[in-house]
Amino acid sequence: MATQHRCSILFGKKRVRELRFKILPHCKIHQIVPVLNTISFHPPLDKKDHISYALLELINNSLRAHRENGIEDPILVKLRAEPTKLRIEVKDRGGGFDPRKLPYNIFEESFPENFHTDPFLQYRRIHQNKRFGMGLLIAKRVFHHFTLQFVDQEGRPRPWGDPSIVGTHILADFEQRDTHGTQVLKRGDKQI
């Protein structure tokens, strides 16, 4: 049976179960990186650097959406240590985005293998190489569970195209694994 762990977050010298950040749209990524670098996890998470990079991509997408749409509301970021996983939430009011304009289908489980195909190259050209269409894809690859929803003013999920959409809500889980790569089990779970 897999070893049981209890995840926790270390922020500076303090051990916490949850961290919440409000990031103002005028904040620059180079101001966020040092804050994220002070966060560690116990037990240490496999691929912490990948998690931090994926989180930065999600934050950067939200910052860009807020700036482009003149939204002054903060972006809300929450990191929560649950018994066997780290849960990350990113909520913004940036108006959402048209998922059909990405060079892949964000809602499919499969991942593109080649990033030099025409859809990716065309996406970069359209955005003058300021966007690569990779942030959400990277996050989907890093996290074991990834959910993106478009939301209305009250935070309720809405289908893309609904005129009440004000932003996005992303939930991403990174499961704690033992040293052999086996998912850590919660109390009462059985390994088969």
Tell me, what DSSP letter sits at residue 146?
E
| Residue 184 included in any domain | no
- Domain-embedded: residue 181: no
- Tell me the helix, strand and coil percentages in the chain, rounded to 5: 25, 25, 45
CATH number at residue 75: 3.30.565.10
pLDDT digits (tens, 9 = 90+) for 83-95: 889 999 999 999 9
Radius of gyration for the chain, computed over Cα atoms and rounded to the nearest angstrom: 18
Residue 182 lies in a domain: no
Amino acid occupying residue 140? K
Residue 45 is predicted with a pLDDT of: 82
In a domain, 102, yes or no: yes
Band the pLDDT of 6: cuts 50, 70, 90: confident
Q: Tell me, yes or no, whether 187 lies in a domain.
A: no
Query: For residue 190, is it within any domain?
Result: no
**pLDDT attached to residue 137:** 79
Range of the domain at 162: 8-175
Is 180 within the bounds of a domain? no
Domain count, the chain: 1
Percent of the chain with pLDDT over 70: 72
Contacts of 66 (CB under 8 A, 6+ apart): 25, 72, 73, 75, 92, 93, 94
Prediction pTM value: 0.80
| pLDDT tens string 148-172 | 999 999 999 999 899 999 999 999 9
Half-sphere exposure at residue 161, Cβ-oriented, CA atoms within 13 angstroms = 2
- Whether 3 is covered by a domain: the verdict is no
